[in-house]
Every structure is written in C-alpha cells, then in structure tokens.
C-alpha cells in the first residue's frame, strides 16, 4: 500500500469512557479504519486534558480519572480520509475531529 506524498492527517479526540457497540470508541474507530483498508491508525493516550465542558481529566494518582483523553491519528490520501469521516460520523457522540494536510516522507520500509 502506498500513501501519496501530499496526504491528510485525521485526528479524532475522544474520551476513554466513550463506547460504540459495547467497545471503546477509539478501538471501534481503529477497527473500522482497518476494515476500510486505510494505511494505518495510531491511538495515543493523554495523561491530562479537557474538552468543551472544561472538565479536567488527569492520570494523577490522587485524582485518578476513568475518562482520560485519547487521540486516534490516521494518515492516508485526502479523499479516503474524508470518506472515512463520513463513515464514522455517527459513531462519535461528542469529541473533536480535525483534518490537516501533511507531507509523507516515509511509509513502510525504506527502499520497498
């Protein structure tokens, strides 16, 4: 699989507690991305953050949160990313979804 040099980065910000069909939302998004044969997906767990409600979520020991911020990042060609956003928009009840143009310098093994 190849990604064009001029591609798009999709970022989906959700909470750890968000669910879709009885599984974590971030997991459902990654599985859907794989099903749609996108180039790849990465889930990042944030130790601290807040969103539109301004409620602070933190991993500090004295204030252990059960709803830490998660970010799903997916890079692929822009048309595939936008089609994927349309596909998953019903899965995301609340959160933040962004898309930005990126330049892909390396994908996979060098020389292959």
Domain that holds residue 66: 6-103
- 27 pLDDT tier (thresholds 50, 70, 90): very high
CATH (domain of 10): 3.30.70.120
Per the domain annotation, does 77 fall within a domain? Answer: yes
Nearest to 71 by CA among 91, 90, 35, 98: 98
Environment class of 108 (CB within 10 Å of its CB; exposed 0-12, middle 13-18, buried 19+): exposed
pTM higher than 0.85 for the full model?
yes
How many domains, in total, are found in the chain? 1
Per the domain annotation, does 72 fall within a domain? Answer: yes
Environment class of 51 (CB within 10 Å of its CB; exposed 0-12, middle 13-18, buried 19+): middle
Instruction: Give the tens place of pLDDT for each residue, 34-56.
Output: 999 999 999 999 888 777 777 76
* Phi and psi at residue 4, to the nearest 5°: -65, 155
33 DSSP assignment: H
Helix, coil or strand: residue 74: strand
């Amino acid at each position: 699989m190849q990604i064009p040099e001029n591609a798009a980065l999709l970022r989906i910000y959700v909470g750890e507690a968000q669910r879709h069909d009885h599984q974590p939302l971030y997991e459902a998004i990654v599985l859907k991305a794989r099903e749609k044969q996108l180039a790849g997906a990465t889930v990042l767990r944030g130790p601290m953050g807040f969103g539109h409600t301004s409620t602070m979520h933190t991993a500090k020991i004295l204030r252990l949160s059960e709803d830490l911020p998660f970010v799903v990042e997916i890079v692929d060609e822009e048309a595939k990313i936008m089609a994927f956003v349309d596909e998953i928009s019903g899965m995301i009840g609340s959160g933040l979804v962004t898309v930005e143009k990126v330049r892909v310098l390396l994908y996979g093994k060098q020389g292959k």
